[in-house]
Structure 1
């Protein structure tokens, strides 16, 4: 390489460096390094919070292994006495001994006097509960109360001195992307800290009627259940409850019950030893676009569709009816079905509230007095079905309908007292099949009118066609079960 080429290359390399220095870009790399060094640490926060987080060890008795029956051996079988002795030694009476199973979870102290919160599934059916603190202290715990619906339980221990306690924060203020800290007892390791963000909110994972989970990517594993999820202010914003994992370990998808749900449940369990939720006395379902059209509500309607009203319940006394769509309860908007149970449950028992509904396409306001859910569940269990009339056969909407004879009732195992038109056959390419209507389903209403016989269904379909509607609204007992009643909007013609 000659001298001229060397000078050209040197100039080419030096030029951009000179430009960077002149333009003030040279210090960029050191500034970035300095910024990285200034990222916040959670070490002080973890050190402060960890004493309030506990490990929970439980023991319970479960049935022994497969019970072995003493065989009936012929008298001349060799070693017959030894075989019989082996089977009898399992336990007097030939029954296997029950096994003691140990399990572990997490929890946290919310009151220095010894009140601890954890998951219900951590302590359920336990005969012995021990709480272990970060300093190694172990205390026996008693169960104050539990709530399977939200998977929350409250324990009490009797410490010699005040405990380190934490408080609940406002989980409603959480935003996707906010930092959160999980502390717990994964795999029995104890005192384990993981950091992550809020990945999503308002998750429904079909765990219970009040699903409203916080999703986080903070590592949550077996044993973390019942442990707290903190915000960076050191407040409990959730209880780590479940994970999604094909492998059984953390894959970055964990779920926490929000503090907004936990706080009220814990207060009631501490005060009463049980929950006292509000109750309206309706069975509801989601409002789809097809159902909205069938109810003359227009497209994109919102609310909770009333499928059934419990006789003598608060809704029945107030005048709510099936097919009403609840759009507001006690001043709180009801955008979809899952909003209503949470709002009603949080309403004080005995409170008189305004319920706004859409009825036959028109807004209606109804005054109702909130009952108690626990009383309502007993009432529903005791309610007996009413009988009705039946007759004829029909073929419509891609399905064959029949009266409910004793033969059909036995064949499809239809609930006693349930009447209407039974579906006996379904065209797999028809509109009924598109909505998953199956043989054995019973249609009790069509076009918002009672079905006394299969011919009523055909008549309602014709009425809808005359009105130039695209769908007809059916009220169907899936599988012939009154506990599975639901509205289904079926297209008059499959597109």
Structure 2
């Protein structure tokens, strides 16, 4: 009997002392749920257990792929195979890539793809996700952004892709690539990864002369992108197109580095191509190279530059009747600033002209000729 009374008395004492023990942090854990926890649990009942929200990412990916895939098409580059004895001749497949149907209007469907996918084509064929083949017409293309727009009849076109935005894109968020790697044999292939980086600058050499002509700003992803994926869609978890797949680093020591053109770059370019058939960019009319590429002996003996001039653009040639020609610029002139901003490479000049200027705008150029500094104002033309 004394034992039973002791147990009951001890239990009563513990119950009475428990709140004080918790408030003084003597207990090593908190058994009282706070208001935030109870709100998250959707219950005001102390001790209610929070149920974690389960996100079925696989099901969500399956859903968005099912929605977007019909808007991703194959793009076949057909070129004439003429021989010495005949003109014209049959056309054969010279290459294949991918494209994205982004608009249907007045019986016409519009497809965005990469410029390099359709470059040199005599005919272009679009293959829908159900295998239907359609002849497409080139609206226009742009080598600098590697984008082209095609149009075709919208018959049998069931789906149009939705464009998202790359403005708030986060590194680490899911990315899904849809396209035709290695040609139409693997049409509609899907790969998954993440956004590995934003605003990556990739130098481009368009004519193979070893000189960098442009610097593309792209999204980096580890979603597998292979030849044939070019022009396809990079989408987010909401099924929105956030990029047009463009290239990968193909080296044996490199794995999982692919690139896509940001959709915020794509949208204004394709709108301009739709309207004009090309991108209207400011034109100056010079062939120029960075001063760092000129041997020191030639700088001193031919260009006669002062010692303080360490960077600039050396003009090799000028297009006749171009804005530069009309303004009086000459070969061997060295441009050091444009509108007061230093310029050292042809990429610097093109970036400024193409992104900050329009045809008809004025451009103030500071340059050196025979060791003397000069300034001239050029009225920019339009690039044909």
* TM-score class, shorter: 0.5 to 0.7
Q: Secondary structure at the match of 2:100?
A: strand
Q: In structure 2, what is the equivalent of residue 244 of structure 1? A: 249
Query: 1:352: Cα distance to partner?
Result: 2.3
Q: Secondary structure at the match of 2:363?
A: strand
Distance (whole Å) between structure 2 residues aligned to residue 324 and residue 370 of structure 1: 18
Q: Secondary structure at the match of 1:104?
A: strand
Which of 326, 338, 342 does residue 347 from structure 2 map onto?
Answer: 338
Q: In structure 1, what is the equivalent of residue 202 of structure 2? A: 203
2:189 is the alignment partner of 1:192: yes
Conservation of the 8 A alpha-carbon contact between 2:99 and 2:231 = yes
Unpaired runs of 5+ in structure 1? Answer: 1-20, 25-33, 68-92, 375-495
Q: In structure 1, what is the equivalent of residue 335 of structure 2? A: 325
Which of 48, 72, 77 does residue 53 from structure 1 map onto?
Answer: 72
2:104 is the alignment partner of 1:112: yes
Q: In structure 1, what is the equivalent of residue 126 of structure 2? A: 131
Q: Secondary structure at the match of 1:223?
A: coil
Query: 1:308: Cα distance to partner?
Result: 4.0
Distance (whole Å) between structure 2 residues aligned to residue 302 and residue 233 of structure 1: 47
Distance (whole Å) between structure 2 residues aligned to residue 274 and residue 265 of structure 1: 9
Distance (whole Å) between structure 2 residues aligned to residue 175 and residue 291 of structure 1: 44
Distance (whole Å) between structure 1 residues aligned to residue 119 and residue 359 of structure 2: 31
Q: Higher relative contact order by CA 8 Å / sep ≥ 6: 1 or 2?
A: 2
Q: In structure 2, what is the equivalent of residue 371 of structure 1? A: 381
* CA distance 1:326–1:217, shift in 2 (3 Å): farther
Query: 1:250: Cα distance to partner?
Result: 8.6
Query: 1:117: Cα distance to partner?
Result: 1.0
Q: In structure 2, what is the equivalent of residue 436 of structure 1? A: none
Which of 144, 151, 163 does residue 167 from structure 1 map onto?
Answer: 163
* CA distance 1:365–1:196, shift in 2 (3 Å): farther
Query: 1:204: Cα distance to partner?
Result: 0.6
2:152 is the alignment partner of 1:157: yes
Conservation of the 8 A alpha-carbon contact between 2:170 and 2:195 = no
Mapping of residues 49-128 of structure 1, within 5 Å: 49-62=68-81, 100-101=92-93, 103-113=95-105, 114-126=109-121, 128=123
Distance (whole Å) between structure 2 residues aligned to residue 132 and residue 49 of structure 1: 15
Q: Secondary structure at the match of 1:339?
A: helix
Distance (whole Å) between structure 1 residues aligned to residue 79 and residue 115 of structure 2: 14
* CA distance 1:290–1:371, shift in 2 (3 Å): closer
* CA distance 1:58–1:332, shift in 2 (3 Å): same
* CA distance 1:51–1:332, shift in 2 (3 Å): farther
* CA distance 1:358–1:128, shift in 2 (3 Å): closer
Q: CA RMSD in A?
A: 4.5
Which of 249, 253, 256 does residue 257 from structure 2 map onto?
Answer: 253
Q: In structure 2, what is the equivalent of residue 221 of structure 1? A: 226
Conservation of the 8 A alpha-carbon contact between 1:145 and 1:274 = yes
* CA distance 1:174–1:117, shift in 2 (3 Å): same
Q: Secondary structure at the match of 1:51?
A: helix
For normalisation by structure 2, the TM-score amounts to 0.63
Distance (whole Å) between structure 1 residues aligned to residue 376 and residue 52 of structure 2: 59
Q: Secondary structure at the match of 2:160?
A: coil
Q: For residues 321-354 of structure 1, what are the alpha-carbon distances to aligned partners after superposition, in whole Å with 9 as ceiling and x for unaligned?
A: 544334345x877564312223324566542223
Distance (whole Å) between structure 2 residues aligned to residue 135 and residue 99 of structure 1: 24
Distance (whole Å) between structure 2 residues aligned to residue 225 and residue 143 of structure 1: 17
* CA distance 1:291–1:170, shift in 2 (3 Å): farther
Conservation of the 8 A alpha-carbon contact between 2:70 and 2:158 = no
Query: 1:102: Cα distance to partner?
Result: 6.8
For normalisation by structure 1, the TM-score amounts to 0.51
Q: For residues 8-59 of structure 1, what are the alpha-carbon distances to aligned partners after superposition, in whole Å with 9 as ceiling and x for unaligned?
A: xxxxxxxxxxxxx9589xxxxxxxxx99966966615444433332222454
Q: For residues 336-380 of structure 1, what are the alpha-carbon distances to aligned partners after superposition, in whole Å with 9 as ceiling and x for unaligned?
A: 431222332456654222335364899865422111222xxxxxx
Report the count of equivalent residues.
313
* CA distance 1:182–1:162, shift in 2 (3 Å): closer
